[in-house]
Amino acid sequence: MIASNGRISTIIRLELPEQQFCFCAPNEVLDTANLQQGSRFFVDGSNDIPISPPTQLQPPQLVGEQSLAAFYAAVPSTVSKLTATLIGPTHNDIGQPGCNTARSEPCLVGVYVGYLGYPVAWMADRLGLDRSAYAAFANGTGEIFAQTSHWKFIQSNIQ
């Protein structure tokens, strides 16, 4: 979403790869030095462990953001942020309406199961189209925290 000042004010990062796959220095993927305002929503699939794990699983010699949890932690607390892992999908589920027509394997659930609901609500809130959507992301009490059959590793600083 682009704010009235011409800057991007919110981003939904789907299946963000570990920093090691980007061949860049720590903090370059998010450009955290310039990230002081706006909002971020990080989403990955629980079966996308090789590319976009929800938690730091890499060997200790790797530094930097190697998981969604690390990317979330790197975003300053002054920025509204949310991270959540959708239970089931792989990296190839993004962009696939349903797995019956998937061009990439493995595809387990497709984009319609999970990837659309909360990201759409996030944008509806951030664009000011549905102010009630904001409550879905409130830390600890938001609707997304109760969706334990579909989401895990949820963190939010939204009050």
Give the angle subtended at the CA of 20 by the CAs of 17 and 22, to the nearest 5°: 60
- Mean of the pLDDT values across residues 89-118? 73
pTM: 0.83
Residue 146 vs residue 28, higher pLDDT: 146
Span 105-130, average pLDDT: 83
- Region 71-87: what's the mean pLDDT? 90
Q: Kind and range of the H or E element at 45?
A: strand 39-45
Burial group, residue 73, by CB count within 10 angstroms (0-12, 13-18, 19+):
middle
**Sheet arrangement for strand 10-14:** 10-14, 39-45, 80-86, 151-156
Residue 72 CB partners (closer than 8 Å, separation 6+): 40, 42, 81, 83, 155
Over residues 28-32, the mean pLDDT reads 63
pLDDT, residue 22, reads 76
Sign of CA dihedral 76, 77, 78, 83: positive
